Structure 1
């Protein structure tokens, strides 16, 4: 069967391509596919997560002809539906906190809570020139929406705004904004905290740190079974 394979972050650089077509035997699992790729190419998939058709899967997931399989290193942690009051953005343009506030400042939502993350320098004693953020954007949007749904199931949430930068981000610049609007202060605060904790381990985003000592992929974390 024929599959479309996607690679991100260090895997893309090890492979020399960001996607490829690859054939494997029928009834192959993700683990089988990973083993074949490692045998044919100089790539290390140990400890990586996998997504099939933009959904995280376990290594023993069976594959079928035509599947899109993405191999994802541990993650370093737009669309708008007016009915659900959700804004989910993955963008290379600078983020704007006032855009988030404008989206969530509504009369029926008396409380708004925000988390913003910026690039830090120095980090571990090194002066940081910038970070290069890379994302699997379609899947990132899907993960954002899934996290929002989990927040809605636990708290009285009115609207949610999530935006994440890609590309080059310098120290002091915003890399992520998470905002929640709710009729109640406590719900807004707790939902915002839940979202940022979930996103930092599930969002398929990676960081290449460029500092005075060179460049290095920021160590990530996983929230699903790995290879």
Structure 2
């Protein structure tokens, strides 16, 4: 069967390509596919997550003809209704907190809570020139919406705004904004905290750190079973 294989972050650089068409035996599992790729291309997939058709799966997931399989290094859903107040953005343009506030400042939501993340320098005593953010954008949007759905099941929320940068981001520049609007202050604060904690281990976004000592991929984490 023919499969479309996607690679991100360090995997893309090790392979020299970001995707390839690959033939695997019928009914192969993700783990079996990973073994084939490692044997043929000498790439290390140990500890990586896998997504099939933009959904995280376990290594024992059985693949089908035409599947899109993404291998994801550790990263630093529900139904979506476009009428819901949910803004999910993955963009290379600079983020603006004013845009998040304007989206969530509505008369029916008396409380707004925001989390913003910026590039830090120095980091561990080393001066940082910039971070290069890379994302699996379609899946990142899907994960954002899944996290929002989970937050809405726990908290009384009105609207949610999530935006994440890609590309080169310099110290002091915004890399992520998470905003929540609610009629209740406590719900807004707790939901905002919940969302950032979920996103930091589930969002398929990676960081290449460029510093005075060179460059390296920032060590990530994962919330799903890996290879």
User: What TM-score does the superposition give when structure 2 sets the normalisation length?
Assistant: 0.98
CA distance in 2, matches of 1:134, 1:200: 14
Cα distance in 2 for partners of 1:54, 1:81 equals 18
1:60 match: 60
1:50 corresponds to 2:50: yes
Deviation at residue 222 of structure 1 after TM alignment: 0.5
Q: Rate the CA distance shift 1:58–1:159 in 2: closer, same or farther, 3 A.
A: same
Q: For 2:108, what is the secondary structure of its paired residue?
A: coil
The Cα shift of 1:42 comes to 2.2
SS in 2 for 1:6: strand
Q: In 1, distance between residues paired with 2:101 and 2:75?
A: 27
Contact 1:81 1:87 in 2 (8 A): no
Asked if structure 2 preserves the Cα contact closer than 8 Å seen for 1:120 and 1:128, the reply is: yes
Question: Residues 23 and 89 (structure 1 numbering): CA distance in 2 closer, same or farther, change over 3 Å?
Answer: same
Q: How far is 1:83 from its partner?
A: 1.4
Q: Give 1:1-227 correspondences, 5 Å limit.
A: 1-76=1-76, 83-227=83-227
Gaps of 5+ in 1: none
Say which SS state the counterpart of residue 194 (structure 1) adopts.
helix
Determine the C-alpha separation between the residues in 1 that align with 2:132 and 2:82: 32
- Report the Cα offset of residue 27 of structure 1: 1.2
Matched-pair contact (CA < 8 Å) for 1:14–1:42: no
Root-mean-square deviation (CA, aligned residues, Å) is: 0.9
Unaligned runs of 5+ in 2: none
* Cα distance in 2, alignment partners of residues 84 and 222 from structure 1: 28
- C-alpha distance in structure 2 between counterparts of 1:206 and 1:106, whole Å: 33
Provide Cα deviations, 1:183-221, integer angstroms capped at 9, x if missing partner.
000000000000000000000000000000000000000
> 1:153-172: per-residue Cα shift (whole Å, max 9, x none)?
00000000000000000000
After TM superposition, the runs of 4+ consecutive aligned structure 1 residues lying more than 4 A away are none
Distance 1:185 1:87 in 2: 20
CA 1:52–1:88 in structure 2 vs 1: closer, same or farther (change >3 Å)?
same
